[in-house]
Each structure stands twice: as structure tokens, then as C-alpha cells.
């Protein structure tokens, strides 16, 4: 049986109330400097890409 790994919760950068359940399998990500941003949908990623300053 695989050990449960404690991970910190990851939320969508555009809608912070939306938890990303499987960040490892999330395909809507964006590398920014040393951290990775996660998005619940492709649309959220597009919104961020268009105006990142809104979500900084």
C-alpha cells in the first residue's frame, strides 16, 4: 500500500477558492521564476497570461 504523502494544498491562481486536487496531473500550469502556478482550466490560464498583474 502506497504511503500517503502530505502535500500542501494547491489552488487555482485565477480563482483562489478552487482547489487543484491533483497538481501533479494538472496540465494547466505555468512556470514562473522558481515556482509553478496552477490553473483549474485552460481558460483560467489564458486569463492569467493576458493580464498577470491582476493576479499577482
- Residue 29, CA distances (Å) to 4, 5, 21, 35 in order: 23, 21, 13, 10
- Our CB check for Zn ion shows the closer of 3 and 25 to be 25
Minimum gap (Å) between residue 44 Cβ and Zn ion: 3
Burial class (CB in 10 A: 0-12, 13-18, 19+), 3: exposed
Minimum gap (Å) between residue 8 Cβ and Zn ion: 18
Site for Zn ion in 27-56 (CB under 5 A): 40, 44
Using CB under 5 A as the criterion, which residues of the chain lie in contact with Zn ion when the complex forms?
Answer: 12, 14-15, 18, 40, 44
Amino acid at each position: 500500500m502506497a504511503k500517503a504523502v502530505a502535500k500542501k494544498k494547491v489552488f487555482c491562481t485565477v480563482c483562489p477558492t478552487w482547489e487543484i486536487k491533483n497538481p501533479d496531473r494538472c496540465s494547466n500550469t505555468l512556470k514562473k521564476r522558481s515556482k509553478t502556478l496552477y490553473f483549474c482550466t485552460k481558460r483560467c490560464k489564458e486569463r492569467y497570461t493576458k493580464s498577470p498583474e491582476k493576479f499577482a
